[in-house]
Chain A
């Protein structure tokens, strides 16, 4: 499947596409309370990967999560995937890749990736503490 913007056989310049993705993503993540990470190196690296993934697979998929080939699964991993992992990312104050962080975050290196299982466990613990 190809994304809508790709014209037949036309290869868009990677740098230009990165800029376009940035503009589109900004509009999506802003109302969700996120911004691009202040770590410009990571942002640039991740966007570069996404443009390559888009060229290869037709969509700017997440560079840090695994695709299965099932549409229902994979479409939830098109960047920005924040809407589909809201609770998880809000708990980390960042998305899994760290392309986006909560607007309040100045130092992305204070943040950790929290696994889904750890998140569930800490939720259950809280429930037990406050029945």
Chain B
């Protein structure tokens, strides 16, 4: 089961910006890049540091703790593709951004 949850208003995040959110108990990092919204887990799969404090460069985010780099589009760790951060679907409707969360109770 998955459902869409309202995250923020479209204008609340500028292009190239990122915003940590808590949605249904999930720590999520919402990113807007080249006009598209991406939602990934905010927890680095290495030792759990918050990626919201990392550096975004194009579609790659670098963890602030030990510089592991992830593609925000599919969550893949650039140095070992088997390791992924969870990614969530996003959609914009009527100027509102929604994030798709699996296993959430409606």
Interface of A with B (CB < 8 Å)? 3-5, 24, 27-28, 31-32, 59, 71-72, 75, 78, 82-84, 86
Contacts and interface: CB of A to CB of B under 8 A. Distances in A.
Contacts, number: 40
Given A3-B65, A71-B67, A75-B66, A31 B48 contact: no
Given A28-B83, A83-B80, A86-B80, A4 B45 contact: no
Most buried by A among B48, B65, B66, B80: B66
A18 B94 CA distance: 49
B105 interface: no
Nearest to B83: A31
B66 A24 contact: no
Contacts of A83: 68, 77, 79-80, 83
Given A5-B47, A5-B48, A31 B66 contact: no
Main secondary structure of the interface of B (DSSP, over half): loop
A75 B46 contact: no
Given A4-B47, A28-B46, A31-B80, 18 more contacts: A3-B47, A3-B49, A4-B48, A4-B49, A4-B64, A24-B46, A24-B47, A24-B48, A28-B83, A31-B82, A31-B83, A32-B82, A75-B67, A78-B46, A83-B68, A83-B80, A84-B79, A86-B80
Contacts of B16: none
B78 to A, nearest CB: 9
A32 B48 contact: no
